[in-house]
Amino acid sequence: MRNLTIPALAAALVLTMAVTPAEAADRRWAATWGNAAQPATPGTPWYGTNWSQEGFARQTPETLRQVVRVSTGGTSVRVKLSNAYGTAPLTVDGAAVAGALQGAATGRPRTLTFSGRPGIVIPPGRERLSDPVPLPVRPLDKLAVTLRFTRPTGPATFHHFAQATSYRATGDHLADTAGDAFADTSNSWYYLTGIDVAAPRRAGTVVTFGDSLTDGVGSTVGADHRYPDHLAERLAGSGSPLGVVNAGIGGNRLLTDSPEYGRNGLARFQRDVLDRPGVRTVIVMQGINDLAEWNKPHQASAGQIIDGHERLIQAARARGIEVVGVTLMPMKGAALAYSPAAEAVRDEVNRWIRTGGAYDHVIDFDAVVRQPGDPDSLRPQYDSGDGIHLNDAGYRAIAQAVDLAIL
């Protein structure tokens, strides 16, 4: 067999719109892309500004276009919008989805409706799914979701470290395909938290759950080089019908809430993992922010973190979802995170993950990225420069360590 690139292999899996009634009956919804929502928060000097606090349509209609790469394909799509952290009803005046081209340019937009209507008002604390749109999607395709706002939104529910570019334009540009009007950019996502596809019943979803190391902080913006992206590429290249959803939040903690980084992992597990359609497996990598030196006065013990993991395992198994545990990676090079006490907690948690038998499967990311002569530190070739977050090569390395058979 001739060698094929991953996009070529993905293209071979395309599902066309010509679906027989029997085939249609064999379809179900599966999550193909998603992120985890968090409350509006200021930008950071090292990551740049975001629009979450100011919101949209403060003086005039504004149009927001967001480009995402899906993981698996299907015959139709539906989109999830979130006002989870809003304090007032969110009015979306119009919405569309299209194949993404270069930058903010798109193919022909397909109008999104909500219960048959072209717009929607989402109450505070709630999420809403669009009606299905017939739109054939292949694994690893890029889609552009465009939202139009004609009323001030107030602070936006968003996802801070998207590692991707979003586009904003003044005025009504919902149907524009050229993208020239979208001159303002941000590296965060707003309101958009999920895309599902109608796929064969054997299809399903793997959710990667965690903090910044799942979120992909340290990877190249716009390159889709987070570890869940590399995992999705491996699954697509193998012909697997499994998609991947990234439910990581940079800065998120397993046990305690944060005003910037959202509800704790235990509290958000239902919405960000269990409530997604088609989930078969969840990969859990969380606890570094709970034990880190910077988390005082909420610095957690090993027993508290282990208890939190056990509660996640119990919740997933109650829904028939396989649970994969991942060891916590080194942090010695991060001065604000590391201390001998924090390292002792990390070591104890990792021993439990490896040998405790609580997880259905274990992946030892720590063993992949640690220095052989200094196991509390990252290998230099995998370090993004801050001693705790990986670079593109590091994220690729841990994705390669996942045995696809366990998913």
Cis before residue 375, ω within 30 degrees of 0?
Answer: no
pLDDT category at 21 given cuts 50, 70, 90 is low
Q: What is the DSSP string of 106-147?
A: BSS-EE--BTTBS-EEE-TT-EEEPPPEEEEE-TT-EEEEEE
CB distance 243 to 205 below 8 Å: yes
Residue 284: CA atoms inside 13 Å, Cβ hemisphere, count? 33
Q: Give residue 108's pLDDT.
A: 97
Q: Give residue 3's pLDDT.
A: 41
Summarised one tens digit per residue, pLDDT across range 246-260 is 999 999 999 999 988
Instruction: Provide the 3-class DSSP secondary structure of residue 276.
Output: coil
Minimum mean pLDDT range among 1-10, 176-185, 195-204, 385-394:
1-10
CB distance 256 to 266 below 8 Å: no
pLDDT category at 181 given cuts 50, 70, 90 is very high
Q: Rounded to whole angstroms, what are the CA distances from 221 to 21, 265, 280?
A: 42, 25, 29
Please give the model's pTM, rounded to 2 decimal places: 0.93
Nearest residue to 138 via CA among 218, 212, 77, 205: 77
CA dist 171 and 148 (Å) reads 9
The answer to whether residue 6 scores a pLDDT higher than 60 is no
Instruction: Calculate mean pLDDT across residues 173-178.
Output: 98
Q: What is the DSSP string of 44-60?
A: BTTTB--STTT-S-SSS
The answer to whether residue 26 scores a pLDDT higher than 90 is no
**N- to C-terminal Cα separation, the chain:** 26
Q: Give residue 4's pLDDT.
A: 37
Angle at 250 between CA 249 and CA 253, to 5 degrees: 75
Which tokens hold the place of 46? 């090292």
Angle at 76 between CA 70 and CA 78, to 5 degrees: 70
Going by their DSSP bridges, the two strands 192-200 and 74-82 should be labelled as: antiparallel
CA dist 136 and 375 (Å) reads 47
pLDDT category at 58 given cuts 50, 70, 90 is confident
Summarised one tens digit per residue, pLDDT across range 97-115 is 999 999 999 999 999 999 9
The answer to whether residue 16 scores a pLDDT higher than 70 is no
CB distance 198 to 28 below 8 Å: yes
Nearest residue to 62 via CA among 181, 187, 192: 181
Instruction: Calculate mean pLDDT across residues 205-225.
Output: 98
Instruction: Calculate mean pLDDT across residues 327-350.
Output: 97
* Torsion, CA 169, CA 173, CA 178, CA 184, rounded to 10: 10
pLDDT category at 283 given cuts 50, 70, 90 is very high
Domain boundaries, the chain: 37-193, 203-406
CB distance 146 to 174 below 8 Å: yes
Whole-number CA gyration radius for the chain: 21
Choosing among 3.40.50.1110, 1.10.468.10, 2.40.50.1070, 3.40.50.1220, the CATH entry for 203-406 is 3.40.50.1110
CB distance 268 to 41 below 8 Å: no
* Encoded amino acid at 354, one letter: R
CA dist 142 and 144 (Å) reads 7
pLDDT category at 45 given cuts 50, 70, 90 is confident
